[in-house]
Structure 1
């Protein structure tokens, strides 16, 4: 026992770096050199010099340790550390079952104050086998050929009489275990099944397909049935090969559409080369020109996730033989390696609707993956994050399976210059307005500033409603110091302004200068790199600074040989500064080696000017910005004069180029008053550069017409959109939706205007002249509105004058709602769970009556998701079953697929948790139990606990000790009963302090 004083238990450690938060799986062990990280802290009173040791299962002694650094406890760093678990502790020998549970915990020794703290244990599930086994067929990365084909009963064609007896039958698969989650996809619709018990030999797993699923999927000559399996730590089997069955139970009276480009029901995106996909609705007896066809493409990604369907509508019209639909290629790119189903409905003038069979397609192509996150503040600074930046935004790009209800978690993992950890995590639950948009996260300033001189790893995870878990690639970012850019590039004497060094100008050696840099200090080791086209043409040397060199150029001399050796090539010149264990890199100077050729200056441009060569004073409220491109290669000491020449006079602005402006784009602003004074005139803009060596260069002249143009356009008004930006389809009149364009500033009667409706179905109105009416009105047909049902819509208008480029108005955005959704219903009265409940950390299989209850949601839009606001007080499973965990209050929240939520409150009491304390004699064991306010369990308590779990309660014991535990019952003079919790065996042990026998001590704590 440690001689230091032991205090209260510390918080449990956490898994930090696994691919799924539910445990350690196969993906976590693919690279044996990459450890699993365990996060420790923040814990109360974390101090510098705390000595942390990490323990793992039955391993003797600690497996990792760490001494807390000052930076770990600095404000803004998060006060936590990560310790590695080498994979030799995780991956068992070949003869050991690779599915097990292991406890990890840590201790903290504090030399100052003499305390020894121990954490609670974190039970971790480790499962390294994959359901169905590892599939090594590279051509089908999302199919596991090890999985048997499913069979579908009844055999043959499934008709209306079979709706209540359809099952998908699955044979036993490799690594099958209880609690595997099997998902059957019935023509793309998921049907979930939990494997509560293992089937007997040669027995199939039968999954019933609900009647409504069969009817909703509709009829098909080749309906697709397939399945996947995910285990308790989310190891994924991939998909089985498809089984095809004919279904005639969905009241379809029309044949499936035809896809000429999809031979054998496979659509190869590479062969399309970006072309749209042709789908044909063939003519049939009774079809009329006035009939309206609604064409639908249902889509599932390579991982089986359903995306919003593509819907298009058009009248039959005068088509002969077939009606053609061209489906945009971009609708299929997100589902490469996935599947699509094509079908249509025909609506008669009478209102009668006819439904077609569906055509399933396999989409062949390169599957999409998550893009890394973006950090614009670093991208705009040559990939370096400035630690003094404020309001830094991290961005998660829109991803291919983005959907309402996704949880997107951004993880900001930094290391300070001293090696301390800086963490920021934020979760955003997406709603329908987020789909297709970049998700932005604001990073607290203290999480940025703390990283000065350090590094940053940035990634995000996505958890879908169905528990699929995705992790993005990491973005590695260098963090600068004191403003964060790389050190300035070196300079070379005699190099031209456009980066050319002429060997003819070098007599003996080239002189390379390293300007004084921020933080220049004695003992800095400065290393020059002259990187030529070959090793023989490259050179490197170094020098160590002394106090007399501070504030001065550091001079390096490169022999002429290394210049001549790169003739007609290029050289990259850079340097590094090594200070202690840190290395600071400079920007690179690229030099061409050859005869000096003066490159013409780039033409000036004006940022606010239009492509037609006009500049509108309305756009220059903050001035007109003259831009000189970075290719002008301006150097420190150059002098630039920018001129604005007009009939009203000449205006000039001078700029002396500083070190920070060298090589950068130069912006020079002329006031808006100057622009307004030249209204109707042509102006000439040019600039002159006087180089530091006395050379004078002049740019070409930019001619601009200062002309009035349309001022900023107002949004269009859309009839029927309420204050919540919702358009109810039931309220749309038969003729459609009225769009009103108000008269805008600077309007001309001859302006040509069109209205654009962008949504699930797009529409462009015929053009109208602005005329003289108070408002310009347009109508979007109701068929277009119907085709946009339950989708987001943006309405804009474009104004064209004199055949110039059109000006686009801001958008009026709203959502078209087909009808009210049924309310989500559940019993919202307070639930009281007050039965005496003895439990361990794991969920008991057979909790006592009164310690659990089940409330099932109805109404709304199934399926439903149940979650607890406080899982450590009350836990709830996917069926709505709630079990008390500890004493307190929580709320159970139910969410349906439409995003509706209801909740009810839960009050729990009389929960006693078995907590481990020590392995010792009974007398000594009672001391920490009593000190913690706990009670030693009796044999009756132990038997109740085992009954609640149906046997072994899964407790953890001190490594290397017998698994017996003390009971409070007296077993005779000087003896107490002990029990083996795993199997219920009992024995009597001496309970005296000196010479007594030892067992594990557990206390019951409320």
Structure 2
């Protein structure tokens, strides 16, 4: 565990989400609002987090969105008909390929993400579409706008001019004026465009907003503030009024200068500190001798608190409570209540202190204070004092990943991961908290996942919050890569995101082909006495294909005697990798037994996860050397969530469901070290799983245990245990049916009593990953979506294609619908 406040496991909040619910909801809404689907059936691309729609485009993109992360924009590709492993997806933007990706076996039927670097994002109005093997989606339009509204004459960032508030001749806004609304004029600003949105604040709250029309460009804009907004800000001798601009794609201007107005809606006497109309508390300058201040520079206060004086008039026995709201530079409000304090000396002013740890978070923000005096059970509210704060914006503290070690590394195979929002985040009652993961997967894809929103209760306010998330949903997707973790807090209408915590996840993924030796080793054995190796061993690295350069390629050599050797090649842009030579001295044998060598290479980039090759394992031995004793990793192997076929109903009868495993699917395997080949493998419980003589395991039951025994040619044996859990069988119906005519199939399964648990999207993806993609595969949400009732079983279907029968092992029928169900 990390060095944080200990948390009670009883208080941990479970997050069962898979991280994609919000994205799927966005896609559902996007698809429903789109027209003009392409004949290919490929959905239009979706730009994650972009404004959608905007006035003249499907997506609006700001420079803030582009610059939010160094990896650029995420574009989501939805599953499409006949999706297959090896498909190349190309993303065209402004008629240029800006990103592409090959579909991996585990991605068939799943959402795919492409990331577009900032230097490939075209400014202005353009179109974007997807191409898969010459089949295109329909296009979406984009509007990319860089730069803030309201820049200076030379393009510099400047403060917008203060708004002009229509104040009556008395200089005080009273109730009659508020009832008829107060007019505020916004002067024309540089870069003014139709669809800009003006946000006007009265006090520290949003009073009104206005969308600029084409007819208003270059002209003053008059807004009206109603009585309710004025009353919320309270009576004060100095209420700040200010605004900012946001263009239609999300670029924001700087804040305007403040206009200060005098407000008295109470109708009470206006003379200072009248007994029935107490004046505002006095905010004292931390660097002054009791002087009041309307602006504080936080860079000069060190560890000081902020003092606020309440001068009276008082009577002995009065009860005084001070109310303070500090608003951060990200517009996030944090309230404090100080007191009540009972007056014991009517001539003595009271002083309250805003703690330094609260104060330092208010850089580029503001604060307001007022007090309530209670006398003889009658309460009187004072006027409000406002103050601005200069200083650096302090973001919410980053979360803590409890399972991360000192080097910020987390095992990708953990069942759960705990994300902890520290108490210094100062969570408040009714806050809505969402954990966000954004990271780079082993293949370079950028993915963002969101947890389930948690609403803070009164009893949890001000405390740390520990959220337990499912490891396979939030860690495993980044196995071999890295992720940043943050959290968002929505408080009222304002949402603020914390700083990011960076973690490495899992181990480098073995995705590349193994190296080879030149020449090949006879019987996989190197004899160091041969002249062939008098200068060393030549190692050939396969062509790296489309892997990007620049990068560094490392060769890794380790032996059963504990020796390690490493070499590297630094590749510049466009370079090709060449071979390595392992020096002669690394081939020498120090003992009298055969030495086993493990040889592989890795490719390392600065801005994406490393990739490693599969191992090349061979022996170094002189003729007649004895083989080392055989051993094997004896830790328990766990196989979870593995699909395996049940029966198939075809031609009016049930047949054995022996489906061919896809060549790219990695079956579980564990091999011995040492020993004398050939090896034989045996399973102690063949009803749970079987094993072939290459050590590959095949699951046959949902749960169970078995021991795997390995025997070499000398009859030496060793074994390890396997636990199978959460695996699932599925049965398949094949018949001449269209996809939308499933009533007969449903009735058949009900009659056969084979209706089991639902097949989820995740399960279906696992089936396709292991046995290859089913053409035209589709997951129907539930039977009720097909006009049926009283069942929630999901169905995976494939229609009108010969490949459907080939997938199930029957090639006699030319047209079929396949429906796969979980076994009960």
1:19-30 maps to which residues of 2 (within 5 A)?
23-29=60-66
8 Å CA contact retained: 2:412, 2:471: no
How far 1:153 moved relative to its partner? 0.8
- Which of 123, 131, 136 aligns to 1:118? It is 136
Return closer, same or farther for 1:474/1:327 CA change in 2, 3 Å cut-off. Answer: closer
Structure 2 Cα separation of the partners of residues 162 and 260 of structure 1: 32
8 Å CA contact retained: 2:208, 2:225: no
Structure 2 Cα separation of the partners of residues 453 and 16 of structure 1: 24
Aligned to 1:486: none
8 Å CA contact retained: 1:294, 1:346: yes
Structure 2 Cα separation of the partners of residues 521 and 193 of structure 1: 73
Q: Which runs of 5+ in 1 are unaligned?
A: 1-5, 92-97, 110-115, 139-143, 484-515, 529-540, 556-575, 586-1006
Structure 2 Cα separation of the partners of residues 133 and 295 of structure 1: 40
Return closer, same or farther for 1:459/1:146 CA change in 2, 3 Å cut-off. Answer: same
- Which of 157, 168, 176 aligns to 1:161? It is 176
Aligned to 1:210: 226
- Which of 189, 212, 222 aligns to 2:238? It is 222
| 3-state SS in 1 of match to 2:231 | helix
Cα deviation digits, residues 640-684 of structure 1 (max 9, x gap):
xxxxxxxxxxxxxxxxxxxxxxxxxxxxxxxxxxxxxxxxxxxxx
Cα deviation digits, residues 792-835 of structure 1 (max 9, x gap):
xxxxxxxxxxxxxxxxxxxxxxxxxxxxxxxxxxxxxxxxxxxx
1:857-1006 maps to which residues of 2 (within 5 A)?
none
- Which of 330, 340, 355 aligns to 1:303? It is 330
| 3-state SS in 2 of match to 1:106 | strand
Cα deviation digits, residues 303-360 of structure 1 (max 9, x gap):
33333343431112225331222332233233222111121121211x3322222221
Return closer, same or farther for 1:202/1:24 CA change in 2, 3 Å cut-off. Answer: closer
Aligned to 2:102: 67
1:363 aligns with 2:363: no
Return closer, same or farther for 1:42/1:28 CA change in 2, 3 Å cut-off. Answer: same
Aligned to 1:281: 310
8 Å CA contact retained: 1:526, 1:577: no
| 3-state SS in 2 of match to 1:213 | helix
- Which of 410, 422, 432 aligns to 1:385? It is 410
Structure 2 Cα separation of the partners of residues 261 and 317 of structure 1: 26
Return closer, same or farther for 1:371/1:137 CA change in 2, 3 Å cut-off. Answer: farther
1:105 aligns with 2:105: no
Aligned to 1:957: none
- Which of 410, 427, 430 aligns to 2:455? It is 430
Structure 2 Cα separation of the partners of residues 461 and 10 of structure 1: 33
Return closer, same or farther for 1:65/1:249 CA change in 2, 3 Å cut-off. Answer: same
- Which of 204, 207, 212 aligns to 1:188? It is 204
Structure 2 Cα separation of the partners of residues 25 and 241 of structure 1: 24
How far 1:162 moved relative to its partner? 1.2
| 3-state SS in 1 of match to 2:475 | helix
Higher relative contact order (CA 8 A, sep 6+): 2
1:259 aligns with 2:283: yes
| 3-state SS in 2 of match to 1:332 | helix
Structure 1 Cα separation of the partners of residues 447 and 72 of structure 2: 20
How far 1:26 moved relative to its partner? 1.9
Aligned to 2:627: none
Cα deviation digits, residues 559-580 of structure 1 (max 9, x gap):
xxxxxxxxxxxxxxxxx99624
8 Å CA contact retained: 2:369, 2:384: yes
How far 1:40 moved relative to its partner? 2.0
Cα deviation digits, residues 578-612 of structure 1 (max 9, x gap):
62436799xxxxxxxxxxxxxxxxxxxxxxxxxxx
| 3-state SS in 2 of match to 1:442 | strand
Structure 2 Cα separation of the partners of residues 153 and 226 of structure 1: 14
1:538-687 maps to which residues of 2 (within 5 A)?
579-581=601-603
8 Å CA contact retained: 1:304, 1:338: yes
How far 1:223 moved relative to its partner? 1.5
Structure 2 Cα separation of the partners of residues 9 and 454 of structure 1: 32
Structure 2 Cα separation of the partners of residues 405 and 33 of structure 1: 29
1:333 aligns with 2:348: no
Aligned to 1:784: none
8 Å CA contact retained: 2:76, 2:112: yes
Return closer, same or farther for 1:269/1:255 CA change in 2, 3 Å cut-off. Answer: same
| 3-state SS in 2 of match to 1:581 | strand
Aligned to 2:650: none
1:149 aligns with 2:162: yes
Q: How large is the RMSD of aligned CA atoms in angstroms?
A: 4.5
TM-score (norm 2): 0.52
Which region of structure 1 is more displaced relative to structure 2, 23-32 or 7-16? 23-32
Cα deviation digits, residues 597-645 of structure 1 (max 9, x gap):
xxxxxxxxxxxxxxxxxxxxxxxxxxxxxxxxxxxxxxxxxxxxxxxxx
How far 1:457 moved relative to its partner? 4.2
Aligned to 1:890: none
TM-score (norm 1): 0.43
Structure 2 Cα separation of the partners of residues 519 and 391 of structure 1: 35
| 3-state SS in 2 of match to 1:246 | strand
- Which of 371, 374, 385 aligns to 1:344? It is 371
Structure 1 Cα separation of the partners of residues 357 and 253 of structure 2: 28
| 3-state SS in 2 of match to 1:333 | helix
Structure 2 Cα separation of the partners of residues 377 and 135 of structure 1: 52
- Which of 79, 85, 91 aligns to 1:54? It is 91
Cα deviation digits, residues 400-434 of structure 1 (max 9, x gap):
58563546351243423x55677643241534446
Structure 2 Cα separation of the partners of residues 48 and 468 of structure 1: 40
| 3-state SS in 1 of match to 2:61 | coil
Return closer, same or farther for 1:325/1:405 CA change in 2, 3 Å cut-off. Answer: closer
Aligned to 1:41: 78
How far 1:24 moved relative to its partner? 1.3
Structure 2 Cα separation of the partners of residues 37 and 409 of structure 1: 18
8 Å CA contact retained: 2:281, 2:310: yes
Cα deviation digits, residues 129-173 of structure 1 (max 9, x gap):
3222279999xxxxx644111011124221232112312221112
